[in-house]
Amino acid sequence: MAGRHIWAGAVCAVGLLIGGAPPQALPQTAVGPLRPLVPPCDQFNPFSPARSTRITLDSGDLVQRQGRELRSFIDTGSLGRADIAIVSAAPQGSVLAVSAIPEISRISPYFGERLKGVALDVAVRAPGQPIRVVLALRQVCARYFRNTFLYY
């Protein structure tokens, strides 16, 4: 009889690890409910799960006051593939090119800062004119999207 209880407990434990129970049915621990084991996201596999958001850049993101380039760094916690698209631009037709490059921040390595994210770069047509660009950003294995103060 004791052998059956051991096997039943083992089967239940394996079911919980695989994810066979809803979160409210998971046993509680001192730090919260037990979660199923999930393999980590492979940020170097372009077919891994991705998240997306919209980012707005404006005249405050110009590299120089009369510059032709908007820059920003978005902290995502990932170095996975990034896709970027222009949603809107005001004035219309003011964007020449846009790029999104996954990288580790390099602005202040002496202070231990090594943020994984996406460096955004937008080339604009008319310098010195108020501008606003809305971008759709999608990145593989992104955990969050935090606009930082880091400009390159």
Per cent of the chain over pLDDT 90 is 38
CA distance 28 to 33: 4
User: For the sheet containing 116-124, what is the strand order?
Assistant: 95-104, 116-124, 69-75, 146-147
Is 43 within the bounds of a domain? no
What is the per-residue pLDDT for 150? 59
What is the per-residue pLDDT for 11? 46
Count of domains for the chain: 2
Residues 58 and 26 in one domain: no
What is the per-residue pLDDT for 59? 87
Residues 29 and 54 in one domain: no
User: Where does the pLDDT of residue 28 fall: very low under 50, low under 70, confident under 90, or very high at 90 and above?
Assistant: low
Is 40 within the bounds of a domain? no
Residues 62 and 134 in one domain: yes
Residues 90 and 127 in one domain: yes
The C-alpha angle with vertex 4 and arms to 36 and 29, in degrees rounded to 5, equals 30
Domain range for 108 is 50-147
Is 96 within the bounds of a domain? yes
What is the per-residue pLDDT for 43? 87
Residues 15 and 72 in one domain: no
Cβ atoms 131, 89 nearer than 8 A:
yes
Residues 102 and 27 in one domain: no
Residues 24 and 70 in one domain: no
Cβ atoms 140, 112 nearer than 8 A:
no
Mean of pLDDT values over 84-94: 93
Instruction: Reply yes or no on whether the pLDDT at 8 is more than 60.
Output: no
